Amino acid sequence: MEIIETHAHLDDPQYAEDLDAVVLRAKQAGVEKILLASVTMHDIGKLKALEKQFPDYVYAMIGVHPQEVKAASYKEELDAFDREIEKDNYIAVGEIGMDLYWDKTTKAEQEIVFRHQVAAAIDKNLPIAIHARDAFQPTVDILKEFDKTKLRGVLHCFSGAPENAQTMMSLGDFYFGIGGVSTFKNAKFTERLAEIPLERIVLETDCPYLAPTPHRGERNEPSFLPFIAGKLAAIYGKTIEEIGKITTNNAERLFF
Ligand code: NI
């Protein structure tokens, strides 16, 4: 079994006590690499420290999450983002995007912050990891402003229709991150997921959130990825090993 975890938050305080054990279990489950999504520039130092702690295994992204965008502080966040991205190497810019589920009042600021970070990713020739919650169209509208031959990345925590995937693929070289939600009994989007080519799918947990069945409700971790691969195996009519291999190749193509 080979797997690449494309979206984890191992800097979360929930791992403070037992991170070594979490990483060991990931390795035992076949996870070959773990990508850490960045949420705020306050924590970017923690992500870089984890990269040093687990060399050639953990890779840090850089990005300001839309939920962290506040009218009073977003300019400072962007200044810090600009400084950090010059200072160090990162595997991708993320997670960035639009979130109108939690807060619609910051829509204008979210657009500014998203646009700025997409431009920076293109400038550095990096892929982007997109968070879009209740905000697919506003996200698409920003991406349309950019040269589609230079845009590449992943729409993280994908649970949309194949038509949404088509739209994304018309805007650039985009992949779709499938996580624990795909294993939930009430997940509707999985009924048509197979219409999206498997060559466009990557695996993710978004841990510590959204643990897959049968761990739903527990703290999530990368070693749970085989449960998601198992669900995809059933959907695509492949073995779990084939799902691991194909999604690993996809992640390698996009990020490495
Ligand atoms: Ni995330």
Kindly report, residue by residue over 102-124, the tens digit of the pLDDT.
899 999 999 999 999 999 999 99
Question: How high is the pLDDT of residue 102?
Answer: 87
Residues, beta carbon < 5 Å, ion ligand 1: 37, 206
Question: In sequence order, what are the beta bridge partners of 132?
Answer: 98
Q: Model pTM?
A: 0.97
Tokens of 140: 């698409």
Residue type, 232: L
Q: What is the 233 CA–ligand 1 centroid distance (Å)?
A: 24
Across 36-58, b (16+ Cβ under 10 Å) vs e yields: bbbbbbeebeebbebbeebeeeb
Q: What is the 9 CA–ligand 1 centroid distance (Å)?
A: 7
Question: How high is the pLDDT of residue 107?
Answer: 97
d(CA 188, CA 165): 15
Helices 240-255 and 225-236 sit at what angle, rounded to 10 degrees? Answer: 110
Per DSSP, helices labelled H in 88-224 are: 107-123, 136-143, 162-171
* Regions of the chain with pLDDT less than 70: none
Q: What is the 43 CA–ligand 1 centroid distance (Å)?
A: 14
Distances (CA, A) of 110 to 12, 105, 204, 235: 23, 9, 24, 35
Percent of residues, the chain, with pLDDT higher than 90: 99
Q: What is the 205 CA–ligand 1 centroid distance (Å)?
A: 9
Q: What is the 213 CA–ligand 1 centroid distance (Å)?
A: 18
